Amino acid sequence: MSLFPFSKELVTERLRFENPWWVSGKVEEYYTSMSPRLYKELFYPLVVDLSVRRAVILMGPRRVGKTVMLFHTIQGLLEEEHDPQKVAFISIETPVYTNASLDQLFRLCMKTTGKEELEGWFVFFDEIQYLKDWERHLKSLVDSYPGVRFVVSGSAAAALRLKSTESGAGRFTEFMLPPLTFNEYIHLLDLQMLLRPSRLEWGAGSTGFFDAVDTGKLNEHFLNYINYGGYPEVIFSKAIQSDPGRYIRSDIIDKVLLRDLPSLYGIKDVQELNTLFTTIAWSSGREFSLEELSKSSGGVDKNTLKRYIEYLDAAFLIRKVQRTDNSARRFKRVTQFKMYLTNPSLRSALFAPISATDDHIGAMVETAVFSQWMHRDWIQPWYARWPRGEVDLIGLDERSFKPMWAVEIKWSNRYFERPTELKSLLSFCSSNNLDQAVVTTIDKQGVKECQGIKLTFIPAAVYTYVVGKNTLVQKGARIG
């Protein structure tokens, strides 16, 4: 395969342009001036751990900061005094690389820098989905160059996940970069002063927690997170926030629904898929059934709808949450389930930003909480519903299937003053021998005992922050 239609000289010139550290030894200030996402602390060790002979695949939805994370990783390598001329960044979507294989591009990097010995190279391929059969090319590189670390990234999360699973067994390590957690939002905007470390009494002991220093100010940012906070570029741009639909809908949602998923799965009726996603986005956090969705969509086949839901999940746009009942029973046939957006700002982009008193604010607060739990790929959150009650979020023991904890997600202070009205939560705890539970509020915090059950009330913004923060800590422990 040749580098046609472009000359090797033109390709070499482009490689030099994309890798200024070959001369300066530094990453451009445009990237180094940005605060790294907290996920970089988990990603970087995977890149530099050369004891594992695998390529690292950085995948995730569009616009979550994958390319910036690559540059921050390169910056880290240079700061640790890796040879700058043995660190290469190549954006596959660049037109001059058309028809070039990954092997050709890597060899051209070696020739351009004069560093043709293989040990010590770190090669980053960005937007890998633009190369046909990329997984075959990458697998060949891993096998051919055992001393080289190859890292690739791509925005078509569904496609990368599918092809990586099919072709990369034993060759690829996947790393999912999701939309921002509320913890990362606070970090990137340097708002840590709004919270202070504390202890939360739980069970027979206590655990690390946080309190709001200024709950009113924290809630302002929590609402901003719900409306705009899923994507780094959006939280820093008032211009984008003034018209989030134009940016998020066209650049994040439409490209997935109209291009990525149809091309990957051969979807012919894109309008059906678009209508389904719009329905889920409008009612994020609601209980659905395939029967109901089929009727509301004008009779779309249930199996087709089931596949569409799987595709939207693979693209990291939605998550399906399974139901149990008051006795934590596992249903043999699942007919009802909840669906949530992976970040509440997707809804604001499709429709309109919401206020603290909007009719949908409760559902969006619930979506914000669930979106933090979705980062924990080792845990499956559940909800409980039975004829006379419902509990929003429960954790079940994987082996015994018995409830370990329960959370009622509210955007209200009412139940802090009237805890006896939490009849469903109290009933669930009583039925499953739980002696405590968490209830979120707008700004009230404290502990109240009701019917022998300790209810810990926490502002929803604080709870969302803590879940996101603890998720990163636990992810780090699991990777380490």
* 30, 391, 396, 419 from 423: Cα distances, Å: 54, 10, 20, 8
Indicate the residue type of 442: I
pLDDT band at residue 254 under the 50/70/90 scheme: confident
pLDDT band at residue 328 under the 50/70/90 scheme: confident
Q: Which residue has the tokens 């909840």?
A: 338
Quick one: pLDDT at residue 167? 59
DSSP tag of 328: -
Cα separation, 223 vs 241, whole angstroms: 13
pLDDT tens per residue across span 407-436 = 999 999 999 999 999 999 999 999 999 999
Q: Which helix (H) or strand (E) holds 394?
A: strand 389-396
What value does the CA radius of gyration of the chain take, rounded to a whole number of Å?
A: 24
Q: At a CB cut-off of 8 Å and minimum separation 6, what does 109 contact?
A: 15, 19, 88, 90, 123
Quick one: pLDDT at residue 371? 96
Q: At a CB cut-off of 8 Å and minimum separation 6, what does 329 contact?
A: none
Least confident of 42-51, 150-159, 209-218, 266-275: 150-159
Q: Which residue has the tokens 């894109």?
A: 270
Architecture of the domain spanning 8-177: 3-Layer(aba) Sandwich (3.40)
Least confident of 101-105, 266-270, 339-343: 266-270
Quick one: pLDDT at residue 157? 57
Selected residue with higher pLDDT from 268 and 65:
65
How many percent of the chain have pLDDT more than 70?
95
Q: Listing from the earlier edge strand, what are the strands of the sheet with 55-59?
A: 87-91, 122-126, 149-154, 55-59, 172-176
Which residues lie across from 175 on neighbouring strands? 58
Task: With beta carbons less than 8 A apart as the criterion, state whether 112 and 24 touch.
Answer: no
The distance from CA 459 to its chain's CA centroid, rounded to whole angstroms, is 23
Quick one: pLDDT at residue 394? 96
DSSP tag of 298: T
Please give the angle made by the CA atoms of 181, 91 and 109, to the nearest 5 degrees: 130
* 239, 248, 271 from 245: Cα distances, Å: 12, 5, 19
The distance from CA 251 to its chain's CA centroid, rounded to whole angstroms, is 17
Cα separation, 98 vs 389, whole angstroms: 58
Cα separation, 349 vs 247, whole angstroms: 8
Least confident of 142-151, 156-165, 282-291: 156-165
Quick one: pLDDT at residue 1? 46
Residue ranges of the domains in the chain?
A: 8-177, 183-479
Quick one: pLDDT at residue 134? 86
Q: Taking the complete model, does pTM exceed 0.85, yes or no? A: yes
Name the E strands within 172-271. 172-176, 195-202, 205-212
Q: Indicate the average pLDDT of the chain.
A: 91
pLDDT band at residue 3 under the 50/70/90 scheme: low
Cα separation, 457 vs 317, whole angstroms: 30
The residue-averaged pLDDT of 246-269 equals: 80
How many percent of the chain have pLDDT more than 90?
68
Does the pLDDT at position 166 exceed 80?
Answer: no
Phi/psi of residue 98, nearest 5 degrees: -55, 130
Q: Which residue has the tokens 């009583």?
A: 430
Find the Cα–Cα–Cα–Cα dihedral 457, 460, 463, 465, rounded to 10°.
Answer: -160
pLDDT tens per residue across span 119-130 = 999 999 998 888
Cis status of the peptide bond prior to 5, with omega within 30 of 0: yes
Cα separation, 73 vs 124, whole angstroms: 10
Does the pLDDT at position 4 exceed 50?
Answer: no
* 176, 248, 331, 480 from 233: Cα distances, Å: 19, 10, 42, 30
